[in-house]
Amino acid sequence: MYRTHTCGELKLENAGQTVELAGWVQTVRKFGAITFVDLRDRYGITQLLFGEDLNAQLESNPLGREFVLQAKGTVSERSNKNKNIPTGGIEILIQSFSILNKSAVPPFTIQDDTDGGDDLRMKYRYLDLRRNAVKKNLELRYAVNRSARNYLHEQGFYDIETPFLIKSTPEGARDFVVPSRMNPGEFYALPQSPQTFKQLLMVSGYDRYYQVVKCFRDEDLRADRQPEFTQIDCEMAFVEQEDILNMFEALVKRIFKDVRGLDYTEPVERISWEDAMWNYGNDKPDIRFGMKIANLKFPLHVFTSKIAFLQNSPLGDESAAGFAVFDSAETVVAISVPGGSEYSRKQTDEITEWVKRPQIGMKGLAFIKCGTDGTYKSSMDKFFDAEKLKAIAGATGAQAGDIVLILAGNEERTRKAVSELRLEMAKRLGLRKSNEFKLLWVLDFPLFEYDEESNRWVARHHPFTSPKPQDIQVMINNDPAIKDAAKYLEHPYANIKANAYDIVLNGNEIGGGSIRIYQRALQEKMFAALGMSKEEALHKFGFLLGAFEYGAPPHGGIAFGFDRLCAILGGSESIRDFIAFPKNNSGRDVMLDAPSTIDKKQLEELQIKTAGKS
Ligand code: ASP
C-alpha cells in the first residue's frame, strides 16, 4: 500500500498519528528553511511540512507541480488554520518521502479557476479531470446513475444489454456505420437508441427493462449535443400512458431526492402539446415563471381548438385594421414583462435589436408601456387609441408598470421568436434560477410531421409510436398521400395525436417516449404512411413485424437524456462538463485526434476505397 489515508480525511483528532499519503503536488512554497507542499488526490488536499532536515534531499530531488509524491509523517495541529478545507486544521510533519513519478509542467493550472481555455483543457482532458470542478460533475453523474439504478431495481426492472453492432433504427438522425470485414461491402449501424431491442424484450416477456446505454447519432451538432450520448432507456409491458407517467415521474423525483436532497412532492403538471405551443411557443416550456403568450392573431388551422380566443382578441374585429404590420401578419403574439414600463428608449431599442438578430429573425418589435399612472405609451400610438392599447395590454394580463412586447409575422417564426423572447426576458429578470426545479409532462403530440422536401409524412417521435386509440381508425381509413402540399394541415393525418409524452425540466426535454404499436397490421400501416414500400419495410424491420406475430404484449417506454439531466441538476448549460471524455462542437475528440484516417491495410481488409484523404 502506498498510503494509510487519503488527502481528504485527516483532521485534528488524528493529531499524533504517523501516516502515509500519496498524491499530486499542487503547490510548493518555500519559507526559509522549511517547505510547504499541498498534496492533492481525489478526496482533497493536505498540507505537508518539510523541515530543515529534509532540505538536502529536497535540493537533490526538487518537487514540481503535479509530481506524484508519497510521504510519511506525523499529523500535527496547524497554527495557521485554513477554515475552507476539511483538512485545514492539520499538517503532516514529514519524516521521509519518495517521488513516485515526475511531471512535465502542466499546460494550465489544475485549480478551480484554471487559466486553461476550452481547447487546451479538452486536449489534456486527463489533467482537466483532476480539477475539482470537473470531478464534482462526475461525482454528480455517478450519483444520478446510482439513484436511477436503485429505483429501477426496486421496481423490478432488469438491466439487459443490447448490441451496438446492429441494423439501422430510425430515430430521426443519420446513422454512424461500421464496415464489416467479414462481410465485405456490408455495414453495421450503431444504434441511435435500443428502441427495437427493448420492444423485442417485451415480446420475450421481460416486462420491465432498463439500461444506462450509449446511443449514437450522426447529427449536425448544436451547442448542447454529442454524437455519442447516454440514455436511461426503459420499457414496460402491459402498461398505458398513465402507468408510464407515474412510474417515471417517481424516478425523477427519487433522483432529485437522492442527488440534491430535494423533496418534490407535488404531482408533475401536465400540458397538451397544443397548449404548450399556444401558451409558451414551444414544446418544452420553462414553467418556473409565467409570462404566458397572449395570442392576438393566429392561424386557426394550427390551433383548431382556439376559435373562441380569436373571436375575443382585441385584434379580432374591424377596428384592428389599419396597422399594416398586424394586418398582413399571420400571427400576432405578445408577452408582458414586469417592471418594463420604466425601460428607457435605449433599452427598448436594444430589445428590438435582439429580436432582429438572425437567430431570432423578426423584422421588429412593437411595445406598450403600461404606466403606473394608468397611461399607455406605445410605439403604435399613431395606429391605436388608448382604449385599444389598453385592450391589447389587457389580453396579456399586463399590470400597471409592465411593458407589453408584441411580435408579428409568419406563424412558425413568430411563435419561435416569442418563445425565445420570453426566455430571454425571464433570464434578464433572474427568473430562471438554476437551483429551482420544475417538471412538466407534455402530452398529445401530433403523430406525424409533414416533410416539405420529400412531400411526405414523417414520424414525429419514431415509427413505433402508436396513435391515440381514438385516432387509429383515422389512420387506417385514410390514404396518406398529400395531394396539395400547401394544404397539408387539412389532411386528416395532420390532426392524429400520438400516444407519446415528453418530460421537461426547466425548459429542457429530459426524456421522451411513447406507447408502442404492437400489432403487425398497424405497424405495417405506419410504415406505409411514412412512404415505405412493403419490401423496404420487410427488409428493414422484418424482424419486428415477425415478432409481432408471436404474442406481442401491449407495451410502452421512455428514455431519459442522462447527460442533460446531470447537467441541469449540476446547474450547468453544457452536457460536455458532465462527460468524462466528450467531443467538441465539430464532433472531434481533440485529445485522441479522432476521427482520423486509417491504415491502407485496414482499408484493404475492409475492401473500402476512400474518395478523399487516406
Ligand atoms: N427510443 C426513444 C428515443 O431515443 C425513446 C423511447 O421512445 O423510448 O427518443
Three-state secondary-structure class, residue 221: coil
CA of 191 to the centre of ligand 1 (A): 11
Q: Is the pLDDT score of 413 beyond 80?
A: yes
Same domain, 142 and 90: no
Residue 113 lies in a domain: no
Please give the pLDDT value at position 323: 84
Residue type, 472: I
- Residue 559 CB less than 6 A away from ligand 1: yes
Of the two residues 334 and 172, the one the predictor is more confident about is 334
**CATH number of residue 231's parent domain:** 3.30.930.10
Same domain, 425 and 454: no
Number of domains in the chain: 4
Same domain, 213 and 296: no
pLDDT digits (tens, 9 = 90+) for 56-112: 999 999 999 999 999 999 999 999 999 999 999 999 999 999 999 999 999 999 988
Residues of the chain with pLDDT > 90: what percent? 86
Same domain, 139 and 173: yes
Residue 278 lies in a domain: no
- Assign 320 a pLDDT band (cuts: 50, 70, 90): low
Show the domain range for 590: 133-264+560-602
Residue 260 lies in a domain: yes
Same domain, 461 and 593: no
- Assign 319 a pLDDT band (cuts: 50, 70, 90): very low
Same domain, 489 and 407: no
**CATH number of residue 60's parent domain:** 2.40.50.140
Same domain, 418 and 452: no
Sheet (strand 376-378) strand order = 294-297, 331-337, 403-409, 366-370, 376-378
Question: Best mutation site among 461, 560, 564 for ligand 1, i.e. most ligand atoms within 8 A of its Cβ?
Answer: 461
Please give the pLDDT value at position 608: 92
Same domain, 456 and 527: yes
CA of 193 to the centre of ligand 1 (A): 7
Residue pair 128/122 in contact by the 8 Å Cβ criterion: yes
What residues does 297 pair with on adjacent strands?
Answer: 332
Residue pair 208/537 in contact by the 8 Å Cβ criterion: no
- Residue 171 CB less than 6 A away from ligand 1: yes
CA of 375 to the centre of ligand 1 (A): 52
Instruction: Quote the cell numbers at residue 241.
Output: 400512458
CA distances, 192 to each of 343, 541, 555 (Å): 48, 15, 20
Please give the pLDDT value at position 376: 94
Residue 245 lies in a domain: yes
pTM: 0.94
Mean pLDDT on 397-425? 97
Q: Which residues, in sequence order, are CB contacts of 606 under 8 Å at separation 6+?
A: 179, 180, 181, 184
Residue 503 lies in a domain: no
Ligand 1 atom at minimum distance from 514 CA: 7
- Residue 561 CB less than 6 A away from ligand 1: no
pLDDT digits (tens, 9 = 90+) for 162-185: 999 998 766 778 999 999 999 999
Q: Is the pLDDT score of 526 beyond 90?
A: yes
Residue pair 293/278 in contact by the 8 Å Cβ criterion: yes
Same domain, 240 and 349: no
pLDDT digits (tens, 9 = 90+) for 212-270: 999 999 988 776 899 999 999 999 999 999 999 999 999 999 999 999 999 999 999 99
Of the two residues 171 and 574, the one the predictor is more confident about is 574
Domain boundary (408, 432, 456) is at 432
Return the number of other C-beta atoms located less than 10 Å from residue 254's C-beta.
18
CA distances, 189 to each of 168, 201, 288, 311, 468 (Å): 5, 20, 40, 52, 31
Residue 296 lies in a domain: yes
Report the relative pairing of strands 439-443 and 366-370 from DSSP bridges: unpaired
Same domain, 397 and 454: no
Average pLDDT taken over every residue of the chain: 94
Instruction: Quote the cell numbers at residue 299.
Output: 392561424
pLDDT digits (tens, 9 = 90+) for 105-150: 999 999 888 888 889 999 999 999 999 999 999 999 999 999 999 9
Ligand 1 atom at minimum distance from 194 CA: 1
Instruction: State which H helix or E strand residue 152 sits in.
Output: helix 132-154
Quick one: CA torsion of 357, 359, 360, 361, rounded to 10 degrees? 70
Q: Which residues, in sequence order, are CB contacts of 74 under 8 Å at separation 6+?
A: 16, 17, 18, 19, 92, 93, 95
Instruction: Quote the cell numbers at residue 359.
Output: 437567430
Please give the pLDDT value at position 317: 56
Q: Is the pLDDT score of 198 beyond 90?
A: yes
Q: Is the pLDDT score of 321 beyond 70?
A: no
Same domain, 342 and 373: yes
Of the two residues 143 and 306, the one the predictor is more confident about is 143
**Secondary-structure breakdown of the chain: helix, strand, coil percentages, each rounded to the nearest 5:** 35, 25, 40
Question: Best mutation site among 168, 169, 190, 193 for ligand 1, i.e. most ligand atoms within 8 A of its Cβ?
Answer: 193
Q: How many CA atoms lie within 13 A of 593 on its CB side?
A: 3
CA 81 to CA 70: how far, in whole Å? 23
Burial of 152 (0-12, 13-18, 19+ CB in 10 A): buried
Return the number of other C-beta atoms located less than 10 Å from residue 278's C-beta.
21
CA 263 to CA 430: how far, in whole Å? 23
Q: Is the pLDDT score of 433 beyond 70?
A: yes
Same domain, 398 and 483: no
Please state which of the ranges 383-397, 398-412, 496-510 shows the lowest mean pLDDT: 383-397
Residue pair 189/167 in contact by the 8 Å Cβ criterion: yes
Instruction: Quote the cell numbers at residue 502.
Output: 415528453
Ligand 1 atom at minimum distance from 235 CA: 8
Burial of 519 (0-12, 13-18, 19+ CB in 10 A): middle
- Residue 513 CB less than 6 A away from ligand 1: yes
Residue 29 lies in a domain: yes
Ligand 1 atom at minimum distance from 500 CA: 7
Residue 125 lies in a domain: no
